[in-house]
Amino acid sequence: MKLFVLGVSFVTVSWLAWINREVNSRNEAYKYCKVLADNPEFPWAKQLNSQARQAHAERAWAAIERFFLNCKAKIKVKKGYPKFKKYQVRASVEYKTSGWKLSNDRKYLTFSDKFQAGTFRLWGSRDLHYYQLKQIKRVRVVRRHDGYYVQFLINHSRKETKKLCNKQIGLDVGLNHFYTDSFGNKVDNPRFLRKGERRIKKLQRRLSRTEKGSSNRTKARNRLGRAHLKVSRRRNDWVCKLAQRVIQSNDLVAIENLKVRNMVKNHCLAKSINDAAWYKFREWLEYFGTIYGVKVIAVDPKYTSQNCYSCGDKVVKTLSTRTHNCPHCSYIGDRDENAAINILSAALEQLKTTLGHRESHASGENPLCLAVETPLSKGTRRKRKPS
Ligand SMILES: [Zn+2]
C-alpha cells in the first residue's frame, strides 16, 4: 500500500526541514505542510488529505520535541535524535476528521482524498453504531504482519460501576510467579514466548536460509512476523484480562514502580522479563483503575523484598532465597508475600502523605485506549507486497 510510504515520507521531509532550520516550532511545522503540498518536487504530498498531512507533521514535531526534552533532562540513555524513516511493515497513516467516510451501515470505510485508496469493508467485534460520528476524532490505518487494520480514536469516556469490597491488595511481580499478592495468592507466569519459541526459532532459521530479495524471503519474513504477533497478542490479552479482574475485586491496588528498561539489561533474564510483560500489566491496571475508580499506587521498589513486614528490619536475601526468615522477630514466610505486604503498606503510607494534594494521575491519556484495532476487509489481507 503506497499510502504508508506517503505518510512515512511526510515525516521524513518534515525532519529534513527541521535539520535545515526551515521549521522551528509546531506551528511552523503545520505551515510547512502547505509549502510541501505546493512544491512540484513532491507531487505525492498533495495526494494526502490536508489534515492527514498535519497529523504527520505533528508526529514529526513530537519526536523533535521529545529529543529536546530528553536533552534538557540530561537523561543517561539514548536521547532519541530523530531518525529518517525506513520502509517498515508496522507503518501507519493517520487521518483527522476529513479524508474518510463511513458508510451508512458503518461497515465500509472510504478514503476520499486524492490518493484514492478506495473502499474497505470493516470486520471486527466492535460496533461503531455505539458511537456518534462526531465522536470519532482520528482514523488511523496501520499495518501489521497479518494485514491492515484501522484504529478509530473515539472521544468517549468509559465509566464502569463497581461495588466497594473493602479489599486492598499489594502485588509483587516476579519470574517464578507472575505476581504474588499480599494475601499469599500466586498467579502463574504463562510464558507465551517460551511456548511459541520453538516455532519462532524454526521460522527464523528458515528466513535466514532464503536468498536476499527473493519472494520466498518475503514470505518467510511474513510468517515469522505473524508468529511473533501471535505471541504478543496472547500475552496482551492475558495481561489485560488479569488486570481487569484484579481491579474489579479490589478497592486499592499497590504495585512496584519497576524500571523494566534497567532490569532488561540483565542479559540472562532479559527474555523472561520481556515475556512477563509487567509494564503492560501496570498500564492496564492504571487504565482499568481510572475506569472503575480504583486507586492504583506505584511505590518505590527499594527494600520491598528485603525488609521484614512484621518488624520493619532489613533481612538481606539473594534472589534465590525464596523464604523470608527474620532473625529479629522470628517471622517466617514466603519471600514474595512479604514483599507484597511491604508494597501495600508503602502505598498506604504514600496515600496518607499525598492525601489532600491533587491526584497526579492524568486520566484519559492512556495509550492503551488506542490499542483496540478493527481489521480491514479480508480481501485486502493478501496484498502485502511493498509497493
Ligand atoms: Zn522481622
Core vs surface per residue 353-383: b (16+ CB within 10 A) or e: eeeeeeeeeeeeebeebeeebebbbeebeee
How many Cα neighbours within 13 Å face the side chain of 294? 31
pLDDT at position 370 is 39
pLDDT digits (tens, 9 = 90+) for 251-269: 999 999 888 777 777 777 8
Q: Determine the distance from the C-alpha atom of residue 45 to the mean position of all C-alpha atoms in its chain, rounded to a whole number.
A: 30
Global pTM value: 0.80
**Ligand 1: distance of its center to the CA of 45 in Å?**
68
pLDDT at position 2 is 65
**Ligand 1: distance of its center to the CA of 341 in Å?**
13
pLDDT digits (tens, 9 = 90+) for 289-334: 999 999 999 998 888 888 888 888 888 888 788 888 888 888 888 8
pLDDT digits (tens, 9 = 90+) for 182-219: 998 999 988 888 888 899 999 999 999 999 989 999 99
pLDDT at residue 275 tops 60 = yes
**Ligand 1: distance of its center to the CA of 339 in Å?**
12
**φ/ψ of residue 379, rounded to 5:** -60, -30
**170 touches 182 (CB < 8 A):** yes
Alpha carbon distance 22, 15 (integer Å): 10
**Ligand 1: distance of its center to the CA of 325 in Å?**
8
State the sign of the Cα–Cα–Cα–Cα dihedral 266, 272, 274, 279: negative
DSSP 80-132: ---------SS-EEEE-SSSEEE-TTS-EEEE-STT--EEEEB-SS--GGGS-
Residue with cell 536460509: 209
Helix, strand, or coil (residue 369): helix
Mean of the per-residue pLDDT values of the chain: 83
Q: Are strands 177-181 and 136-144 parallel, antiparallel or unpaired?
A: unpaired
Alpha carbon distance 346, 256 (integer Å): 10
Question: For the ranges 68-82, 216-230, 238-252, which has the lowest average pLDDT?
Answer: 68-82
**Ligand 1: distance of its center to the CA of 314 in Å?**
8
Residue with cell 510510504: 5
Which span out of 44-53, 107-116, 128-137, 284-293 was modeled with the highest average pLDDT? 284-293
**220 touches 207 (CB < 8 A):** yes
**Ligand 1: distance of its center to the CA of 282 in Å?**
29
pLDDT at residue 368 tops 50 = no
> pLDDT exceeding 90 applies to what percent of the chain?
32
Q: Running DSSP on this structure, what letter comes out for residue 266?
A: S
**Which run of H or E residues covers position 182?**
none
**Ligand 1: distance of its center to the CA of 315 in Å?**
8
- Supply 321's cell numbers: 532465597
Across the range 212-237, mean pLDDT stands at 93
pLDDT at residue 369 tops 80 = no
